[in-house]
């Protein structure tokens, strides 16, 4: 406890999922959490939960893909807090779009604009609030930034870009005392997964989760709280010599080359929990 005492942390995409879980975890560790998202109701729920638990948090509307929105947000944060210690660029969207020749240009642009451009814009306008005292930045990438998915080339491109953008940022700011790392989650039980694959209560969602269970060596989807633990490590003093790294947290999915025997071995499928 208290690993982030008196730190000021900005988390984008804080309304649900990984962002929400991380906001709550950072608050438990003593940070003042600035929750930013386009989902006002979700942000309000996150902030209310933090405050009910005795923490300090505020909600701000932010569209990370819009330069004016990001500039306005950065100015608001500077006016109230003067500086920040932590930035978690977590906001992102995902959607299937078909093969590349079928992929809608507007969908490709939207995913790149929110996921990749949004990470750039939030970093560009909030890093100045770290330059004097240093700090830590985390970017949410994905296992889909390291390997590809069928019909999701826009998301693959965006997340692959974030992983390498993280390395560029780490080099740029290491001498300013700002560490920059990324997290590459596997399939995590979040509202985004519900939107993409169906909820636990829908037949399509059940089938998706069963498939993920047997193809993932650990036999289950990840929990947002587990990603929050990785984020906490990266922004804490425990990771004081870690920068430019991407931490994959996917239950072992990227540890093998292809499913192989897993496709035909019934004992493997039945061995999931």
List residues with catalytic annotation. Answer: 155
| Cβ contact 234:138 at 8 Å | yes
Backbone φ, ψ for residue 98 (5° rounding): 90, 180
Cα 80 off chain centre by: 25
Structure tokens at 150: 């069928």
Please answer whether residues 50 and 25 qualify as being in contact, where contact means their C-beta atoms are separated by less than 8 angstroms. Answer: no
- Rounded to 5 degrees, φ, ψ at 249 are -130, 85
Angle between helices 67-81 and 118-126 (to 10 degrees): 30
CA atoms within 13 A on the CB side of 192: 21
Nearest to 220 by CA among 187, 192, 190, 191: 187
Q: Strand, helix or coil at 249?
A: strand
Record the tokens describing residue 258, joined without a space. Answer: 């292809």
CA distance readout (Å), 57 to 52, 130, 161 = 10, 19, 31
Instruction: Give 3-state DSSP helix, strand, coil % of the chain, rounded to 5.
Output: 50, 15, 35
């Amino acid at each position: 406890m208290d690993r982030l005492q008196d730190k000021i942390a900005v988390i984008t995409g804080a309304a649900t999922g990984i962002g929400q879980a991380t906001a709550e975890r950072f608050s438990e560790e003593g940070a003042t959490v600035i929750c930013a998202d386009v989902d006002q109701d979700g942000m309000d729920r996150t902030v209310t939960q933090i405050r009910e638990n005795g923490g300090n948090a505020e909600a701000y509307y932010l569209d990370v893909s819009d330069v004016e929105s990001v500039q306005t947000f950065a100015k608001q944060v500077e006016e109230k807090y003067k500086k920040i210690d932590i930035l978690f660029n977590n906001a992102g969207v995902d959607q299937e779009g078909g093969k590349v020749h079928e992929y809608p240009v507007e969908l490709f642009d939207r995913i790149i604009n929110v996921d990749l451009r949004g990470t750039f814009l939030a970093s560009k306008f909030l890093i100045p609030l770290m330059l004097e005292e240093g700090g830590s930045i985390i970017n949410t990438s994905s296992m889909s930034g390291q390997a590809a998915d069928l019909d999701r080339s826009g998301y693959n491109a965006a997340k692959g870009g974030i992983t390498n953008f993280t390395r560029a940022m780490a080099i740029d700011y290491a001498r300013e005392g700002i560490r920059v790392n990324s997290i590459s989650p596997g399939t995590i039980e979040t509202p985004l997964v519900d939107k993409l694959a169906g909820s636990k209560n829908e037949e399509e969602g059940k089938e998706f989760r069963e498939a993920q269970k047997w193809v993932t060596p650990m036999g289950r989807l990840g929990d947002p709280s587990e990603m929050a633990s990785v984020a906490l490590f990266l922004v804490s003093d425990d990771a004081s010599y870690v920068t430019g790294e991407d931490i994959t947290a996917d239950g072992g999915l990227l540890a093998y080359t292809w499913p192989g025997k897993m496709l035909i071995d019934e004992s493997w499928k039945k061995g999931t929990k």
